[in-house]
Amino acid sequence: MDNLQIKDSYKSIASEARGLFKDNGSRFIAHAYPVETEEEVKEIVAALKKEYYDARHHVYAYRLGHLGDKFRANDDGEPSGSSGRPVLGQIDSNELSDILVVVVRYFGGIKLGIPGLIRAYKTSTADALANAEIVEKIASKRYRVHFGYLNMNDVMKVMKDMGLEQKNQKFDMECSMDTSVRLSQVETFLERIGDVEGCNVEEI
């Protein structure tokens, strides 16, 4: 595969951000979080339900991964398609991934109707994302490189040439180190490190 075709950069948010929308007494409080796993999503949603225990709804949507292929929209009791989908729509229109948005609704006593709900969830989410710092993330794979002491210079040359960070270095007669390689560089890295005599690589 041509390395140029491998998508390994994507946009996310740097830290938690909030947004707010009010309509006919109802308050829509949007919380946006950077997340990487569905487990994180569950923990954050559970914590917000505990914090806003007296709210009527806790609607959320998320998209995960550098390809954005893991996603979900949850209406949490609101009419189908009126809430979770508009939240996910804002995530997608900003081309974001590794992100969770939870919108907490306090009911104001007046029903807003489907169009009103769509507008409220969309606008509160848009406000939170407008307040967020957008960052570029790089998808990568982690490797542990095993090599003999006599081959250290060859391994170090590959690391330096490719600008790779070295972690957990162990230097003895048998040496090892860990590194992260962005997806578009994986093929080149494995070829070059494979050319070093007595060098073995494992994905971690």
In this predicted model, what pLDDT tens digit does every residue of 108-143 receive, in sequence order?
A: 888 999 999 999 999 999 999 999 999 999 999 999
pLDDT score at 172:
87
Nearest-CA neighbor of 23 among 103, 135, 133, 142? 103
140-161 tens-digit pLDDT = 999 999 999 999 999 999 999 9
Angle between helix 113-130 and 84-93 (nearest 10): 40
pLDDT at 1 over 50: no
Give dist(CA 86, CA 88) in Å, integer: 5
Q: What is the DSSP string of 85-122?
A: HHHHHHHHHTTB-SEEEEEEEE--SS--HHHHHHHHHH
pLDDT score at 3:
44
Distance of CA 8 to the CA centre of its chain: 13
Give dist(CA 9, CA 134) in Å, integer: 13
SS3 155: helix
pLDDT at 195 over 90: yes
pTM of the predicted model as reported, rounded to 2 decimal places: 0.81
Give dist(CA 146, CA 143) in Å, integer: 10
Ranges for all domains in the chain classified under CATH 3.30.230.30: 3-137
pLDDT at 12 over 50: yes
Residue 131 CB contacts under 8 Å (≥ 6 apart), including other chains = 17, 18, 19
Mean pLDDT (whole number) for 178-198: 94
pLDDT classification of 5: cutoffs 50, 70, 90: low
37-76 tens-digit pLDDT = 999 999 999 999 999 999 999 999 999 999 999 999 999 9
Q: Topology of 139-203 in CATH?
A: Alpha-Beta Plaits (3.30.70)
Burial of residue 95 (number of CB atoms within 10 Å: 0-12, 13-18, 19+): exposed
Give dist(CA 1, CA 183) in Å, integer: 12
15-42 tens-digit pLDDT = 999 999 999 999 999 999 999 999 999 9
Ranges for all domains in the chain classified under CATH 3.30.70.240: 139-203
Q: Which CATH architecture has domain 3-137?
A: 2-Layer Sandwich (3.30)
Q: What is the mean pLDDT of the chain?
A: 94
pLDDT exceeding 70 applies to what percent of the chain?
A: 98
